[in-house]
Amino acid sequence: MLELEERILDDAGKLADHNRRFHEAIYYCAHNRYILKMLEYIQTAMLLLQPAGRTGSERRETALLEHRAIVDAIGARDSAASEAAICDHVRRAQQARIKRLLQTDQPRFDLS
């Protein structure tokens, strides 16, 4: 999945779809119903607050590095490193979205 993500970094639409599938794969592999339920809420918020293509290229590249850290930690079966990598990714994504919302004059919700 990471190789595909690297190839489509410049295609915001494909990357948004891939990002959703990447996160779903992580959640489903966790076999945790709470995490799966949270995925639904997160995906809804992402659709409302961050339309496809609105993520800057710097964030796309940073997210790829974060995804790689998550996959590497899971592959190494290092639960502490996995948790740290996931928390770091969520925190950075949240900060990027907040920054993006504060910088834009666009409507914050897509009600179409």
Domain that holds residue 35: 2-103
| pLDDT tens, position by position, 30-46 | 777 777 777 777 777 66
At 51 the pLDDT is 54
In a domain, 108, yes or no: no
At 61 the pLDDT is 92
- Number of structural domains found in the chain: 1
In a domain, 111, yes or no: no
Q: Pick the closest to residue 86 from 35, 51, 45 (CA basis).
A: 35
In a domain, 83, yes or no: yes
pTM: 0.74
In a domain, 28, yes or no: yes
Can you say whether the dihedral through the CA atoms of 78, 82, 88, 91 is positive or negative? negative
| pLDDT tens, position by position, 50-103 | 554 456 778 899 999 999 999 999 999 998 998 899 889 988 988 888 887 787
In a domain, 60, yes or no: yes
In a domain, 62, yes or no: yes
At 67 the pLDDT is 95
At 112 the pLDDT is 52
